[in-house]
Structure 1
Amino acid sequence: MQKTKDLCASSSFFAHRTQSKDHKKVMNHHIWQGDVEEADHLRHQKDTKGIFAKRIETIERVFANAKGKYCMH
């Protein structure tokens, strides 16, 4: 299997995508990014949609009260 670095260097579009001479691109992700993506995936599953719908009536209401009454922005 060819390394990504080699694939990028051999691409005719390489000059348009990056100015990197060592054929590297740095991507930063939040430490919890994988967990956030998994939660988002689960939120859209058929058996968990009801749980997330209840969140609006319960948890989100508590957060709204905290923001409004106690200036927790």
Structure 2
Amino acid sequence: MSKKKLHENHLNPTTFWDVDLNLLDSSKDRDFIIVRVLERGTDAEIQYIETAYSQQEIIASLESTKGVSKKTLNFYKTISL
């Protein structure tokens, strides 16, 4: 099963109310997916993101995306130490 399919099974349409989950690509849309889930997702979605992406990918996405809360960024930087 592809990573794209995994997203369809693990991401809640309510979290992604403004996009079609079927059109999200796990690589191309990595920053969008990670930030949306970590800022607005459910506990299950957050656990999925933490297993689907590396700590480095998560931190890089948080650092490169505008509007990420300092609290979220600091949390992931702290747990990666």
TM (norm. structure 1) is 0.23
Structure 1 or 2: more helix by fraction: 2
Q: Return the index of the structure with the highest Cα Rg.
A: 1
Q: Comparing both chains, which one has the higher relative contact order based on Cα–Cα distances under 8 Å and sequence gaps of 6 or more?
A: 2
